[in-house]
Amino acid sequence: MGFDIHRAIEVLEGKYHEWQEPMVTEMARKGKDPFKVLISCILSLRTQDKTAKEASQRLYSLATSPQEMMKLSKEQIIQAIYPVGFYRTKANNIKEICRILLSEYQGRVPHKIEDLLRLPGVGRKTANLVLTRGFNSQGICVDTHVHRICNRWGYVKTCSPEETEMALRKKLPSPYWQRINDLLVAFGQNVCRPLSPFCSRCPLEDICPKIGVNRHR
């Protein structure tokens, strides 16, 4: 028998309220705006959630649409989003994204993954998160937490987040597609850490094979 993904999802759903919700998920829940989901996800890349959330709020106090964002100078955007990781590159990408949205998509965020991937700074993780959280469409957002945990469970055997996404598209039941990122990011940040996970307090300890885990608490 393989890893019981149904039990895992059920257990994690029951524990989810005890953990800090991922920043982009929290912002999307308060109002599904694909543009804000897109920009917040870009700001969150290689940045702690708290820092990215505060940067998003500062930026949205100045502009909440591509039209408004284009009126800001690059320096204004930099000042708003600092100290997120790679803030200068992200400011450039935000300006260029807004230009493309206005010139090619009537100021709207596209809802096809192929179009989203054409935007600067947007990879498959961000594109899938915009689909699932911005448009409530089917997609599987795979970040480092989803990649690590699914391999640690032995549910997939892959070498990169993109490989994990493709494997999950073939294997993961579709009702779990939208939700798996929320659950595993929260689980990964709080319990199933990259190094020395908290196996002693893990609600899935009894079914987890701990593949690749050399040290745990």
Which residue numbers are catalytic? Answer: 125, 143
Cβ atoms 165, 124 nearer than 8 A: yes
Structure tokens at 148: 């690590």
Q: Which of 69, 19, 17 is nearest to 43 (CA)?
A: 69
Q: Is 65 left (phi over 0), alpha (psi -120 to 50) or beta?
A: beta
Cβ atoms 43, 93 nearer than 8 A: no
Q: What single DSSP character describes residue 134?
A: I
**Residue that has been written with the tokens 């094979």 in this structure:** 209
Looking at the chain, the number of H-run helices and the number of E-run strands are 12, 0
Identify the burial level of 76 via C-beta atoms within 10 angstroms of its C-beta, where 0-12 means exposed, 13-18 middle and 19 or more buried: middle
